[in-house]
Amino acid sequence: MKEGETTEFKTEKRAQEILEATKQLYQRESYRDINLKKISQVTSFSRPSIYNYFHSKEEIFLTLLTLEYENWAQAILAFKDKYEGKKLSRLDFADFLAQSLEDRPLMLKLIANNIADFEEKSRMELIISFKRAYAQTLSAVESSLATLFPTISAPERQVFIYAFFPYLFGLHAYAVGTKKQRQALEELQIDYTFYSVYELAFQLLKKLLEIKKEQD
């Protein structure tokens, strides 16, 4: 341990190395193909050593998703604080939210997996951290709507939340898809257009926010 480093700092640093290595693997391999052995091969840890920080690969992925939600919530709240008390159109808010999703490919790819599987094989404290981060994200969106657009009622905000967040679970598949999905569509000669994350999210948000014109 370097001089001045605490045990807690050292543990956090090593856990972060494992998380970063897993992110790099996930860019080129599927979730199913990744295991602790592969993760150990791109870190300075042996497979048994990883267990000192994460008890399963599911815990690693759940932690990555937790961090993604935490960062997204912070971005949404920063946007709300920036425009609180200022004139902002619903179209501008829809644009921001859609772009915030476009900027988070890792989060959407993680969401596209079976999150229940992540949770089933993770320790309770990590599940609680994930649930807290997810709740913070819902709260950030709801409070942004309430602050920036006070004419949107509480029941209307709830409708928005329960339409918008479940939609995210299929967003990656519709916008990106996998190589095999694209190959199957080509072989069937199905003329399917893969719209971007931004385009798909923006169209939904315009409907949810009842934007009928270019401006609010």
Domains and CATH numbers, the chain: 1-54 (1.10.10.60), 57-208 (1.10.357.10)
Please, are residues 41 and 18 in contact by the beta-carbon 8 Å criterion? no
**Cβ count near 68 (within 10 Å):** 19
pLDDT at 176: 86
pLDDT digits (tens, 9 = 90+) for 145-168: 999 999 999 999 999 999 999 999
The label of the residue with tokens 């798909």 reads 200
pLDDT digits (tens, 9 = 90+) for 26-83: 999 999 999 999 999 988 888 889 999 999 999 999 999 999 999 999 999 999 999 9
Q: What is this structure's pTM?
A: 0.89
Q: What is the torsional sign of CA 123, 128, 134, 136?
A: negative
